[in-house]
Amino acid sequence: MAQILKHSEILREIRRNENIEEVHGDIINLMDWLAKAPKYTIFRINKLRKFDPEIIEVTLKLQCEDLEFSRIPKFYLLKPDCLVLERWPDDENMTIPETEVIVDASCAAAVLRGAHVFAPGVMGLPTNCQLDSFVSIYGDLEEKCKKGLKVQYNGRKIFVGMGQLKMLRNQLYGEDLEPSGIAVHTIMPASRLPVINETMYPKGDILLQNLPSIVCGWVVDSQPGEAILDMCAAPGNKTTHIAEMSNDKAMITAIDKTVKKVEKIQANAMAHGIKCIKCYAYDSTKCWSDASTGINVGPPFPSNSFDKVLLDAPCSGLGQRPLLLNKMTPKMLNSYKFVQRKLMKSAVAVLKVGGKLIYSTCTITEDENEGMVAWALQEFPCLRLVAAEPLLGGPGWSGCGLTDEQRVLVQRFGPEMDPLRPVDDLYRDTIGFFIACFTKIEN
């Protein structure tokens, strides 16, 4: 797993510290953590609809019988809109099938999260396989497996689970073929996460979503009648969450750069039965103009237009787990903070005095997290950092531009244990994520 964050320049950028030995120790622990899938599967529940937990219990019992296991995983509602499933108990044995299916790294990561293998992700499959036979699923860690490989792959690979074959070579490979659908039905991921998905319920009833993303919606805490801007909204998972939290009674404006992305937000809202979201294809770095006549005509918006602004910023995404392959270059990594600063300027401009600005990323770097908070506080005297409640993640990193008083106001989701704020295991075993909250005062 030492290849996960392979550039020494990137390692230095993740967390700057004068103590080199301490930095390298932190990085190694962080890399190990990033390489593993969280041991919880999290679904967001649409509070506008009725949720029946018995469906999941019945499904888990059937899987338990098929696997000849003695106990089903524990599952529970953390809040009315958050369902937690723990992984299968570790006291059961699995027999690993000899036949190997090779999948690309992104597919392998999805399998470790409990997903099935879809046809486009299959790189190698032996010729002598039979439908419904049991196979081992391996992820290609170097992107060197050529599509359509017939023999055993001897490159760097990782076992990610076992499953049942649902497609053969003649359905997967060929000049005129564009295969789709489930190629391998995952039975047990190596992470031992339950194979549970959204198709068990009507579309829009439940949504597979990372826990910190759900916490981000709780921090927004949308209320009926509030004017809320979601600046980088696609595909709309956080947008629909804040709409549901307001009982579909907030006035939510969702922006993203392209028509295609906006169509995803609209489709998501429709599936969730939400009507309070207005969507626009627009560049959020330019969403402010005092020449505008009001928020009802669309972007750009005048100053002091919104009660709350959610800036879930485009980021390097280095908090995703399991992170099996990293293609980030130092140049790419350093570019994100400049876009984030432009977005922050627009967010501050359109936020009302007394309003609430929520900034979040799904990455682990200092520049995009604590560094952004420190920059914003210096750049905008009208901003005050306030507690990003509910404070469920750990405090911000030390030595990254924030005082201890400021560190405890933000929340960083990661493996670290910081005496400033103890964190439950559930909130330490998530993806890497960061949330900060500001309020705007009279300048």
User: Which residue ranges are tagged as binding site for S-adenosyl-L-methionine?
Assistant: 232-238, 256, 283, 312
Q: Does residue 53 belong to any structural domain of this protein?
A: no
Q: What confidence score (pLDDT) does residue 15 get?
A: 45
SS3 100: strand
pLDDT of residue 27: 58
- For residue 195, being part of any structural domain is answered with no
For residue 101, what is the DSSP state? E
303 and 175 co-located in one domain:
no
Same domain, 435 and 396: yes
Q: Which of 362, 382, 400, 437 is catalytic?
A: 362
C-alpha span between 218 and 112 (Å, rounded): 27
Supply angle C-alpha 394, 400, 401, rounded to 5: 110
The 10 Å Cβ neighbour count of residue 421 is 15
Q: What is the pLDDT of residue 26?
A: 59
Residue 326's pLDDT is what?
Answer: 79
Coil, helix or strand at residue 137: strand
Q: Quote helix, strand, coil % in the chain, to nearest 5.
A: 30, 25, 45
Q: Report the C-alpha gap between 105 and 140 in whole angstroms.
A: 6
Other beta carbons within 10 angstroms of residue 442's beta carbon come to: 6
Active site residue 362: yes
Q: Are residue 233 and residue 301 in the same domain, yes or no?
A: yes
Q: Is residue 149 part of a domain?
A: yes
* Residue 222, domain member (yes or no): yes
| Residue that has been written with the tokens 């593993």 in this structure | 36
Q: What is the pLDDT along the chain (443 residues), one digit of tens a residue?
A: 233 333 334 444 444 443 334 444 555 578 889 989 999 999 999 999 999 999 999 999 999 888 888 889 999 999 999 999 999 988 667 788 999 999 999 999 999 999 999 999 999 999 989 999 999 999 999 899 999 999 999 999 999 999 999 999 999 998 778 889 999 999 999 999 999 989 899 999 999 999 999 999 999 999 999 999 999 999 999 999 999 999 999 999 999 999 999 999 999 999 999 999 999 999 999 999 988 877 888 999 999 999 999 999 999 999 999 988 878 888 888 899 999 999 999 999 999 999 999 999 999 999 999 999 999 999 999 999 999 999 999 999 999 999 999 999 999 999 989 999 999 999 999 999 999 999 999 87
pLDDT at 5: 38
Instruction: Note whether 286 and 368 are same-domain residues.
Output: yes
State whether 179 and 266 are in the same domain: no
Domain boundary pick from 189, 224, 249: 189
Q: Could you identify the residue written with the tokens 């049991």?
A: 134
Closest to 257 (Cα-Cα) out of 237, 285, 238: 285
Q: Do 257 and 216 have their domain in common?
A: yes
Of 133, 154, 189, the one marking the end of a domain is: 189
pLDDT at residue number 1? 27
Q: Which residues pair with 52 in a beta bridge?
A: none
pLDDT value, residue 78: 95
Look at residue 28 in the predicted model and tell me its pLDDT.
56
217 in the same domain as 110:
no
Residue 14: which of 341, 301, 326, 272 has the closest Cα? 326
State whether 277 and 423 are in the same domain: yes
User: Which range of residues forms the domain containing residue 391?
Assistant: 209-440
351: nearest Cα among 296, 387, 281, 301: 301
How many Å apart are CA 348 and CA 339, to the nearest integer?
Answer: 14
User: How many structural domains are present in the chain?
Assistant: 2
Secondary structure (3-state) at 176? coil
The answer to whether position 64 is within a domain reads no
| Whether residues 181 and 295 fall in one domain | no
Q: How far is CA 80 from CA 11, 324, 418, in A?
A: 39, 33, 29
Residue 234: which CATH number?
3.40.50.150
Length of the chain: 443
Q: Which residues contact 23 (CB under 8 A, 6 or more apart)?
A: 11, 12, 15, 16, 17
